[in-house]
Amino acid sequence: MNSALMHPHFLWLLLVIPIAVFWHYTTIKQQHPAIKISTTEGFSIPKSWLMKCRPFLFLLKIMALGFVIIALARPRNTQKSSYTDSKNGIDIVIATDVSGSMLATDFKPNRLEAIKKVAESFIQKRTNDRIGLVVYAGESYTKTPVTSDKTMLLSALREVQYNGLVLQDGTAIGIGLGTAINRIKNSKAKSKIIILLTDGVNNVGSLDPISAAEIAKDYGIKVYTVGVGTNGMANFPVAKDSNGNIVFQPQKVEIDEKILQEIAAITKGKYFRATDNNKLEAIYDEIDGLEKSKISENRLMLFDEQFRSWLLIGLFVLILEMVLSRTLFKSFI
């Protein structure tokens, strides 16, 4: 909240005050001419407290004048307020593969952690959109429904990890896509987006990925598919040793690019291939650029007028001066 004056030029009138003070005391001297005598003995009359306080009346007039001038300058407190029209925001679901192969170390520190890091940055940029999170392996579930609460969403994203005890291992692309569709199929947003990430081949699940893509198309949902994995060989988790540490073994990277490309084509989305951390980050930046929210920001200026208080104080002081001059100080004026 800021304080400001609507008509600051009225403050120039404050220059009248020293002129009025000078004129007042000059006039008093002219109204009380002095005479020279040899002694004042016999003429001295002790001054009462009323006589000593008489200049206070003039001070009240000056104060009243000052308060009125400030009131004319129109002081007020200004508070800026704005709100965003989110009717043109986008509903986005990030559906990410959390199968065991996502622990492969061709991304640093591994594929899953790399995806989480880049997704976190993406979410923070999409301040005016609602975003949900779906995770899948051989099964799928909604980690976070579509929400504008970015704090809750980011917290849920950081909790995502591979856990073979929670989800059946495998890669059910159709099931993951189907769950994501269910999250936004009834959304009233003008644009509905799914970002589908996987690092493997569809090998389990009761829903065919192409059938899921057709469903997405019917609901007007655009799907951006991302194949995650380097070209050639990568170290994949294959087992755990006696100490519970994951054992890695080089294996050929296989991604079902044909299906991912077809899903993107059916839904008028786009397919991307991320071969390292930098490429993955660039893909999210490109998606961020392709899907821009249309935001209208409305700014409001809230004014708390203060001139009434100054004017009332000035009038009170002026009335006080008039009352005193006609009562206590009447005989001295």
What average pLDDT does the segment 193-213 reach? Answer: 92
Q: Residue 241: what are its φ and ψ, rounded to 5°? A: -80, -175
How many domains is the chain built from?
2
Residue 331 has pLDDT above 70, yes or no: no
Given pLDDT bands bounded at 50, 70 and 90, which one contains residue 241? confident
Residue 27 has pLDDT above 90, yes or no: no
The pLDDT of residue 140 is: 92
Residue the block writes with tokens 């519970």: 244
Q: How far apart are CA 132 and CA 286, in angstroms?
A: 19
Q: Residue 100: what are its φ and ψ, rounded to 5°? A: -60, -30
22 inside domain: no
Given pLDDT bands bounded at 50, 70 and 90, which one contains residue 55? confident
- Percentage of the chain lying above the pLDDT 70 cut: 84
Domain limits at 130?
84-296
Could you give the maximum distance between any two Cα atoms of the chain, in Å? 125
Residue 36 is encoded by which pair of tokens?
């020279």
Residue 274 has pLDDT above 60, yes or no: yes
Tell me the pLDDT tens digit for each residue of 110-158.
999 999 999 999 999 998 889 999 999 989 999 999 998 999 999 999 9
70 and 185 belong to one structural domain = no
94 and 127 belong to one structural domain = yes
Query: What rounded mean pLDDT belongs to the chain?
Result: 85
Q: How far apart are CA 130 and CA 118, in angstroms?
A: 17
**Which range is least confidently modeled, 1-10, 223-232, 242-251?**
1-10
4 inside domain: no
167 and 278 belong to one structural domain = yes
Q: How far apart are CA 134 and CA 198, in angstroms?
A: 12
92 inside domain: yes
The pLDDT of residue 278 is: 95
Helix (H) or strand (E) holding 174: helix 173-184
61 and 111 belong to one structural domain = no
**What one-character DSSP code corresponds to residue 66?**
H
Read off the amino acid at residue 261. Answer: Q
Q: How far apart are CA 96 and CA 141, in angstroms?
A: 11
186 and 133 belong to one structural domain = yes
219 and 158 belong to one structural domain = yes
Q: How far apart are CA 259 and CA 173, in angstroms?
A: 9
189 and 216 belong to one structural domain = yes
The pLDDT of residue 24 is: 76
The pLDDT of residue 293 is: 64
Residue whose C-alpha is closest to residue 78's, from 2, 130, 154, 13: 2
90 and 226 belong to one structural domain = yes
The pLDDT of residue 211 is: 96
The pLDDT of residue 177 is: 96
Q: Residue 187: what are its φ and ψ, rounded to 5°? A: -65, 145
**Which range is least confidently modeled, 9-13, 32-36, 269-273?**
32-36
Tell me the pLDDT tens digit for each residue of 71-84.
888 888 876 655 55
**Which range is least confidently modeled, 13-17, 47-51, 283-287, 321-325?**
47-51
In CATH, what number is assigned to the domain containing residue 252?
Answer: 3.40.50.410
281 and 172 belong to one structural domain = yes
Of the two residues 59 and 39, the one the predictor is more confident about is: 59
Q: Which residues of 61-72 are buried (b: 16+ CB within 10 A; e: fewer)?
A: bbbbbbbbbbbb
Given pLDDT bands bounded at 50, 70 and 90, which one contains residue 242? confident
Sheet strands side by side (includes 270-274): 140-147, 130-136, 90-97, 191-198, 221-228, 270-274
Residue 208 is encoded by which pair of tokens?
């065919």
Of the two residues 239 and 2, the one the predictor is more confident about is: 239
Residue 86 has pLDDT above 60, yes or no: no
Q: Residue 257: what are its φ and ψ, rounded to 5°? A: -65, -35
For residue 109, cis peptide bond before it (omega within 30 degrees of 0): yes
The pLDDT of residue 150 is: 92
pTM above threshold 0.75: no
